[in-house]
Amino acid sequence: MTTWDDLLGTALVGTGRRPFRAADLAIAGAERIEAGSPEAAVLAAAALADGYRRAGWAPPIRRGTRPRPADPDDRPECSPAAAQLLELLLGRAIGLENGAEPLIADWLRLCRAARQRPPMATLPALLRTGTTTAALRPLVKQVAGPRGTWLAARNPAWRWATTVPPEAVDEVFTTGTRAERLALLDDLRRTDPGRARELVGRTWHEEQAATRAAFLDALHTGLSDADEALLERALDDRASTVRAAAVALLDRLPGSARAQRMARRALRLRNPDGTFALPGEPDRAARRDGVTGATEPGHGRGASRLIQVLTGTPLSTWDPADIPGAGPEVLAGWTRAALRQRDATWLTALARHRPGPELLAALAPADAAAVLDDQHRYDARFGALLAAAPGPWPAAFSTRIVQRLRDRKADAVVRLAARALAEHLHPSALAALEEWLLDPGQDRAATRRTLRGIAHALTIRATILQEFT
Amino acid sequence: MGSRWTVARVLALAPDAGSVRAAKGLANPRTWSDLGSTESLLWGKCQGSARAPYQVTVDLTEPAFRCTCPSRKTPCKHGLALLLLWAAADGSVADMRTAEPFAAEWAQARRKPARGGEADPQARARRIAERESLMSAGIDDVELWLHDLVRQGLAAARHQPASFWETAAARLVDAQLPGLADRVRALGGEILARADWAPHLLGELGRCYLAVCAWRRRADLDEATLGDLRTVLGWARRRDEIGDRVADRWHVVGRSQEQDERLLSQRTWLSGESTGETVVLLDFAAAGQALQVSHVLGSVVDGEVARYPGGPPRRALLAGDGHAVTEGAGLPQATDVRTALGRAATWLAGNPWLRRVPLALAGMTVVPGDPALLVDGDGAALPLAPGADLWQLLALSGGHPVGVFGEWIDQRLHPLTLQVDDRLVAV
């Protein structure tokens, strides 16, 4: 027992129960303590001994290798003003009607485009934001750079932002949790899709059905014709969820053998006048290719089967000029085919024929703007289309749409599409918005509030833009 | 904080019992604004029944009162209430450098006829003697309290309710020992929060006892030790007593702010380029108000500081005017852990009451863990305080060795500044 422990023991039980003499302490100076009572002796000894303890504290020596430091980041740091904006947005210090996330996304996109990096001090807040807002993760991960990846590897909550080093891929895929393996696949599909496919194939037969289906879903990223063989085999899977996942992926590969089989089925159904006959009960081969008994919302069984056949058929089989004469189930099939095959010509043609939010969202911003320019009824449907139009909106279109909404007093549309307006309007439309706000004819408080919110977001976006150009 | 009065002393000034009752009702910070005090003046605005708040000023040297309320009593209930707020020393009335204009003007107008130098030296000596006898009585009281604790055992003390420590602290405030009161109040929370509560409590009680013994022998103490003793007891020096000046290029190496519901306090650590001396500036402001001084981290102030009496590291004031401020480049005098702790040991040997030890460290790697560590090139490891923002430290350092300035308190490092390249960044 050390001298200090002895002293502490006495103090804990009290001098009323245990006697104490300072002179017995084996520390230098104890013999000079003058104390008239045991209490005074304990207190004086404590002052002396704790003085030694504090002044003589020696640090533990930590041996062993240091953790590997972060890789260097050669991107220049963004401007101080840009950094301050990011801090305000991340700290939610700016009150925004539609939340700070769209503006954070804007900031990150512009920072990435300018090949700059955020200040290191903002990385923890950025990673926290990515943790709560999954939609921002890919952007955060890219912009945070090597320092962000390094930092994320130290916090389990930020696992999503880590990158598995090539030498550890095998080990993580063999021993990781399902979430870790899926994150790894998703990562690999961006850089080395073949390697990810090879990993999926390696343990395919040992995985549970739910894992097999999830693995197939992970192949969405970086999908190519090279994945066809794996998907074709998955069509024979025992589990219906796995077969459905394979069908959904094969719908995206118009060059596959399965697409050709679907095309033959579709052509057999085509009548000389260009209409389609409804397919009967599917045979075994058709069921294997994804023509199932499931019904599509709003369609009968036969129509549903036709939609499934058309979805799987390459759009190059048909002529977009036939769109205006097509029946509802044919339109539904072609629309789904265009969305899955990401065929810009068909998407644009279909959107022009009958605009819908889903189609518009799949278009390039300029094409979507052109479609909206042709719409002249300012109803709820228009609001939904505007809300779905992808950004960034072209400058001329932005000013024009603000003008049109103001001229037609389309307050309801403004409120329906407020978030999209705040997020996608080009900053040059700010002048038109402010004019609208100053318009004495604009007297509805709710609309004014919405407009002010949009103008506020636009001001901040203009500042961000300015800081990165 | 200056020498504040006891409640009893304030109430002795009341013209009648009704004023006491009314003043106690008004002695609530919510009804007051623009509160503040200097060594000689105390002021505030009280929202009464009139539309404009009453302007209340007390000249503490006499004391003399002025209030814009219509009452004919002297002092009126507002003056008494203001004194009560101030005497509570709970931070609602902050120590300021300069008085509000309405208070300063009145004081100046009063002083003019009776110019003839500063306050009456006799009155001042009497005040000091009064205070010392009050403190001596309080010190006797502390000694008995400490003896009781040790006789009954610290294990028993741990089961005392929070009010036990609060009451002891309040008695110390009344005895004009606010510094000791702060330590005792903190103990009440620490013995519940800390895993090492027992050795911590014993050490703190030992240091309180040391203050008791030192006070009795204050006539024999040298200037520096007396300065340290006055700091631990909470008997602040008047600004005009601070005269020990030293010139240097002072690097602003660390800043920390603490805010409670009433007071904003700021510590600014300066490191002298050629003297190698570390000093600390203390600034206070009432909650919700801005600090009058704010030094930019990483800048260099070229000029004189006046140091308070005491052992190093000493409290100081920026002295004189015309301080040139330039940009610095990094942490001067940063060393490895062994050298920095060696320096700290010398300071602790000179001032056993020292709590916050400034450390300037070079080449420290942040190592996550429980606790997280700062490790120097030789492997010497300092544990980080639990409140330190580990992620910020990791993000800024990226796992590379960096310079760190921080406060070493109870074997835990509270980092304030990181040196990234040549830049100092607050953490």
- Domain ranges for chain A, please list them: 3-55, 81-161, 258-354, 357-467
Q: What is the pLDDT of residue B141?
A: 96
Q: What is the pLDDT of residue B116?
A: 45
Give Cβ neighbours of residue A56 (< 8 Å, ≥ 6 apart).
B345
Tokens of B48: 């009464």
Give Cβ neighbours of residue A32 (< 8 Å, ≥ 6 apart).
none
- The sheet with strand B54-59 has its strands ordered as B32-37, B41-46, B54-59, B64-67
Interface of A with B in 136-195 (CB under 8 A): 147, 150-151, 154-155
Q: What is the pLDDT of residue B77?
A: 87
B41-46 and B357-367 as β-strands: parallel, antiparallel, unpaired? Answer: unpaired
Give Cβ neighbours of residue B359 (< 8 Å, ≥ 6 apart).
B340, B341, B344, B382, B404, B405, B406, B407, B408, B413
Alpha carbons B250 and A71: distance in angstroms, whole number: 35
Helix ranges (H only) for A37-90 are: 38-55, 80-90
Burial of residue B113, with CB atoms counted within 10 A of its CB: 0-12 exposed, 13-18 middle, 19 or more buried:
exposed
Element (H, E) at B269: strand B263-272
Number of residue pairs across A and B with CB atoms under 8 Å?
Answer: 141
- Chain A CB within 8 Å of residue B367 CB: yes
Counting DSSP H helices and E strands in chain A, the numbers are 25, 0
Alpha carbons A212 and A206: distance in angstroms, whole number: 9
Q: What is the pLDDT of residue B13?
A: 79
- Chain B CB within 8 Å of residue A27 CB: no
Q: What is the pLDDT of residue B409?
A: 93
Alpha carbons A395 and A389: distance in angstroms, whole number: 14
Q: Which residues of chain A have pLDDT under 70?
A: 1-2
Give Cβ neighbours of residue A288 (< 8 Å, ≥ 6 apart).
A235, A236
Tokens of A271: 């009548």
Alpha carbons A239 and A210: distance in angstroms, whole number: 9
Q: How far is B380 from chain A (nearest CA, A)?
A: 5
Alpha carbons A207 and B92: distance in angstroms, whole number: 67
Q: What is the pLDDT along chain B (427 residues), one digit of tens a residue?
A: 446 887 777 877 777 778 888 888 888 888 888 888 888 889 998 887 777 888 899 888 777 888 888 777 778 888 888 988 888 878 788 888 888 888 888 887 776 554 444 567 888 888 889 999 999 999 999 999 999 999 999 999 999 999 999 999 999 999 999 999 999 999 999 999 888 999 999 999 999 999 999 999 999 999 999 999 999 999 988 877 887 899 999 999 999 988 877 788 899 999 999 999 999 999 888 777 777 777 889 999 999 999 999 999 999 998 877 678 888 888 998 999 999 999 999 999 999 999 999 999 999 999 998 889 999 999 999 999 988 999 999 999 999 999 999 999 989 999 999 999 889 999 9
Q: What is the dihedral of CA B377, B380, B386, B390, to 10 degrees?
A: 10
Angle between helices A430-438 and A395-407 (to 10 degrees): 20
Task: Judge contact between A350 and A290, C-beta under 8 A.
Answer: no
Peptide bond between residue B352 and the one before it cis (omega within 30 degrees of 0): no
In terms of CA atoms, which chain A residue is nearest residue B153? A14
B373-375 and B381-383 as β-strands: parallel, antiparallel, unpaired? Answer: antiparallel
Element (H, E) at B252: strand B244-259
Instruction: Residue A62: list chain B partners with CB under 8 A.
Output: 367, 373, 375, 379-381
- The sheet with strand B373-375 has its strands ordered as B381-383, B373-375, B357-367, B402-409, B412-420, B423-426
Peptide bond between residue B63 and the one before it cis (omega within 30 degrees of 0): yes
In DSSP terms, B282 is beta-bridged to: B267
Query: DSSP letter string over A177-222?
Result: -HHHHHHHHHHHHHH-HHHHHHHHHHHGGGS-HHHHHHHHHHTTTT
> Does the structure's ipTM exceed the value 0.90?
no
Interface of B with A in 182-201 (CB under 8 A): 198-199
Q: What is the pLDDT of residue B12?
A: 76
Altogether, the residues listed in chain A come to a count of: 469
Give Cβ neighbours of residue B365 (< 8 Å, ≥ 6 apart).
A66, B374, B375, B376, B397, B399, B400, B401, B402
Task: Judge contact between B215 and B135, C-beta under 8 A.
Answer: yes
Q: What angle do CA A206, A207, A211 make, to 5 degrees?
A: 170
Q: What is the pLDDT of residue B117?
A: 47
Is this prediction's pTM over 0.80? Answer: no
Q: What is the pLDDT of residue B61?
A: 76
- Domain ranges for chain B, please list them: 7-111, 122-233, 239-327, 337-426
Alpha carbons A236 and A428: distance in angstroms, whole number: 55
Task: Report the candidate in A281, A276, A216 with the shortest Cα–Cα distance to residue A250.
Answer: A216
Buried-exposed string B149-183: b where 16+ CB fall within 10 A, e elsewhere: bbbbbbeebeeeeeeebeebbebbbbbbbbbbbeb
Alpha carbons A360 and A374: distance in angstroms, whole number: 13
Nearest to A12 among B198, B213, B392 (CB): B198
Element (H, E) at B142: helix B121-152
Interface of A with B in 32-51 (CB under 8 A): 37-40, 42-51
Nearest to B398 among A14, A40, A150 (CB): A150
Quote the percentage of chain B above a pLDDT of 90: 57
- Chain A CB within 8 Å of residue B364 CB: no
Angle between helices A3-13 and B197-216 (to 10 degrees): 90
Interface of A with B in 242-301 (CB under 8 A): none
Alpha carbons A235 and A245: distance in angstroms, whole number: 9
Among positive and negative, which fits the CA dihedral A288, A289, A294, A295?
negative
Nearest to A155 among B151, B206, B391 (CB): B391
> Strand, coil or helix: what is B380?
strand
**The amino acid at B78:** H
Alpha carbons A344 and A331: distance in angstroms, whole number: 16
Place of tokens 């063989």: A229
